[in-house]
Structure 1
Amino acid sequence: MTISKRSFCLVAAAGALLLAAPLSPSSAQTLKDITFVQPSPSSINSFPIYVAISEGFFKEEGLNVRVESVNGSGPVIQALASGQAQFGRPGPGPVLNARARGVDVVFLYNMMVKSSFGIVVKDGDSFKSVPDLKGKVIGVGTADGAEVSFARGILSSLGMQENRDFTFLTVGDGGMAAAAFTRDDISAYAASTADAAILTYRGLKLRDITPVEFLTYFGNGFAVMQSTIDKDPKLVESFGRAVVRGQEFAADPKNRDRVLADLKAGMPQENEDRDFANALFEQVLAKTIPLDASKGWGYQDPAHWDRWHKSLVETGSLKQPIPDLPKAYTNAFVETWNK
C-alpha cells in the first residue's frame, strides 16, 4: 500500500465527523452533555479525547462528550465563541489573533508541547546536532512549504547560510523522501509530524535533532471561553482531569493495542492500516511528552507564549502586540488535573 501525506489527509477527511460516548440508559440521565470541536477529522491528533471517551474517563467525571470536526482553528474558535461547543483544539496563533479581535478565548491545556516540524536524520548516522549538517544537503517536501521556513530559521540562527553552509533539495514526501534518504541524496529532512510517520512506516528509523528552543513553538491544545471558566470551573476541572488520564493511558506502551482500538472506534477510515496508524500515533505522541515532566500534563510555559507572541508580531501575523498576553492562557487547573 502506497501512502503519501496527501492520501493520508484525504483518508482522514473521509472519517466520521461525530462521535458520542456510549451510554447505558441508567447513566444517560446523570451525565452532562458537552461538545468538543477539533480542527480536522482525526482521532490520532486528538488522541487524549478519544481514549478518554472509549476508556470511560469522561463518563467517570460525569461527562458525555460528543466530538465534532471542522476545517481549521478559526472555525474551532467560532464554535466556542458562539456556544456551539464547550471545548476545542485550536492552535496558539489563531487564539492570539482571535483575542486581538476581542474574542475572550483561553488556551487551557498545552497538548502538542513540541513543534509540529523538525529536522530529522537517520538514526544510525553520525549527526548529533544541526551544526553537524554543515556542507550537507537537507531534503524538503516542497520548495516553499512551512517546513522550509522552519528549517531555514534554525540554520540561520546557528550562523549557517543557505548555498554556502547547506543546500535544500526538494525531494517530495512519502516514498520520494524515503528514496532520497536511502540513496544518500540527503543527509537530513525537514519533516512535519505526518512526514516523519510516513518515513517510519516505510522502515526508516529517524532521530530528531531539532534544537530544543525551536521545539518550544508548540502546536494545538485545548481551549475554552473565559465565560465557561468563570461560570463552571468544575466542568473545566472534570474535562481536564479526564484528558490527563487519557494522555497518561495512551503514553503507556503496554496499552498500545487498546489505544489503537480506541482510535479506530473513533475514526475507522483513518485507522484502517494499523501499522501506519501506529507510526503516526507514535510521532504525534512524541510531540505531546512534556519538556519538563515535573510541571504536569497540560502546563504552559509563559516564556514559550512570549516567543510565539513575538514571532507573530515580527512576521506581521499580529498587527500589534497584545497588551494582556497572560490572559490568553491559564495554568490554574494544571495542579488539580495532575493529582
Structure 2
Amino acid sequence: MKRIASILILLSLLVLTACGNSGSTEVSKTSDGKEKVKLLLAAEGTAMYYAYVARDKGFFEEEGIEVELLPGKGGSYVVQQVGAETIDLGIIAVNSVLPAWDKGIDIKMVYQVNVTNLFDFMVPENSKVTDIKQLKGKVIGVTDLGSGEVPMVRSILSSAGLNPDQDVTIRAIGAEGTSIITAFEKGEIDAFSGGAHDLISLYGRGFKSKSLLPEEYLSLPSTGIIANGKIMKENPEVVEKVSRAVAKATDFAINDPDAAYAVMKKAVPEQYTDEEIGRLFLDTFIELTKPIEPEKGYGYIYEDAWAKLIEQFSEGDEPVIKNEVNLDDYLDSSLLEKVNEF
C-alpha cells in the first residue's frame, strides 16, 4: 500500500509539473546565476525603445537578470497575460489596463514611462467632421482592436453621447501609414486613432489632419510598466531590477540619441529602412520619455493625472470604467526611489 501511495504522489507531482507553473513568481536562473525574466511588450520596436536599449546595452545584465522581450500583440493581450499571472511583467499603453482595474484584477502600475498622452483621434484636414458627435454612423480606424487607443476612443465617444458599440464601427486597419491613407482614400474609414508612431508614419507621407482629441485628454499618462500583484508581494526585487534597467536605458537615450539610434536600427531594421522617418520616430519617443520634473526621477507616477484619467474613462452612457476604482490599490510607487539609484 505504501508503494502504491508513493506512486500516486509521484504521479501527482508529474502532473503538476506538466501543467507548468502558471502564476508562479519563482524566477528561473541561467547557468551563471542570472535571473531569467520575460517582459511582454504591447508593441514592437521604436515605441518601446528603452526595453531594447536596456537589453542591447547590457543594462538588464548589470542588474543580474536575463530578460527576454516578447513584443507585439497589443496592450489588451499584455494585460490579460499579466492579470492571469502567466507573465509577471509587461509594458503597455495605460488605457489598456483600465478595464482590468474595473473588474478588480490585481495589476500594479509600478513605473510611468510616458507622462503625457501619445494618442490622437483625428480626421483628414479636408473632412467636414469637426466634432466627435458628427461621427455617428461612421467608421473609425484603429491599429488593432486590442491596442491602447481603443479604450480612449470608446471613452471619447461615450463622453460625446455616442454608443461605441452601436453608433459607430471601430475597425482595425493596421499601423502602416500607406494602409491608413488608402483606407481614407477609399472611404473605408472616416476617422483614425493611433499612437505617435502611427501618426509619424502618416505625416511622413504628407498626410494632413485635424485633431478631434478633447483638450482634457492631452495631459493624461500614456505608457507604463505593469506587474501582477503576486510578484509585487513575493519578488519585488525583480520588478525593481527591470524598472531600473529601463530607467538607465531611458537616461542613456536622452543623453546619447545617436547611440540609441544605432541600437534600434540593429534591433528592428525593418523600422529604419527609411532612415529619416526612423530617426523621427525614435526622437519623438525619446522626447516623450523625458521627465517633466527631472528631480523626481524616472518612472514618477502622477496620481492627480491618473485620477483625471479614471474620471475621463468613467463618463458617458457606455463608459470604459463602470465601477469604483481606488487608485491606491493599483498605483505602486514603492520601488521608484531605489529604481533611480544609478
TM-score (norm 1): 0.66
The answer for the alignment partner of 1:215 in structure 2 is 218
The answer for the alignment partner of 2:263 in structure 1 is 262
Residue 201 of structure 1 contacts residue 275 of structure 1 at CA under 8 Å; is this kept in 2?
Answer: no
Q: Which ranges of structure 1 fall in alignment gaps of 5 or more residues?
A: 1-26, 121-136, 157-172, 179-189
How far off its partner does 1:308 sit?
0.9
Question: 1:133-171 CA distances to partner (integer Å, 9 max, x unpaired)?
Answer: xxxx9899x984689x98xx8xx9xxxxxxxxxxxxxxx
The answer for the alignment partner of 1:283 in structure 2 is 284
The answer for the alignment partner of 1:110 in structure 2 is 112
How far off its partner does 1:174 sit?
5.8
Residue 200 of structure 1 contacts residue 279 of structure 1 at CA under 8 Å; is this kept in 2?
Answer: no
Question: 3-state SS of the aligned residue for 2:38?
Answer: strand
Residue 42 of structure 2 contacts residue 93 of structure 2 at CA under 8 Å; is this kept in 1?
Answer: no
The answer for the alignment partner of 1:68 in structure 2 is 70
Question: 1:44-75 CA distances to partner (integer Å, 9 max, x unpaired)?
Answer: 11111100101001001001000112422221
TM-score (norm 2): 0.65
Q: For 1:139 and 1:112, how far apart are their aligned partners in 2?
A: 27
Q: For 2:229 and 2:112, how far apart are their aligned partners in 1?
A: 16
1:29 to 29, 32, 45: 32
The answer for the alignment partner of 1:84 in structure 2 is 86
Residue 70 of structure 1 contacts residue 76 of structure 1 at CA under 8 Å; is this kept in 2?
Answer: no
Q: For 1:297 and 1:138, how far apart are their aligned partners in 2?
A: 37
Residue 309 of structure 1 contacts residue 321 of structure 1 at CA under 8 Å; is this kept in 2?
Answer: no
Question: 1:14-50 CA distances to partner (integer Å, 9 max, x unpaired)?
Answer: xxxxxxxxxxxxx85221110000123x221111110
The answer for the alignment partner of 1:241 in structure 2 is 244
Q: For 2:254 and 2:224, how far apart are their aligned partners in 1?
A: 17
1:227 to 225, 230, 234: 230
How far off its partner does 1:333 sit?
1.5
Q: For 1:191 and 1:34, how far apart are their aligned partners in 2?
A: 29
The answer for the alignment partner of 1:187 in structure 2 is none
Question: 1:81-111 CA distances to partner (integer Å, 9 max, x unpaired)?
Answer: 3443221012323323212223211111111
Structure number with bigger Rg? 2
The one-letter code of the counterpart of 2:288 is K
Q: For 2:285 and 2:98, how far apart are their aligned partners in 1?
A: 23
What is the count of residue pairs matched by the alignment?
A: 267
Residue 79 of structure 1 contacts residue 85 of structure 1 at CA under 8 Å; is this kept in 2?
Answer: yes
The one-letter code of the counterpart of 1:234 is E
1:326 to 1:259, Cα distance in 2 relative to 1, 3 A: same
Question: 3-state SS of the aligned residue for 2:108?
Answer: strand
Give 1:296-307 correspondences, 5 Å limit. 296-307=297-308
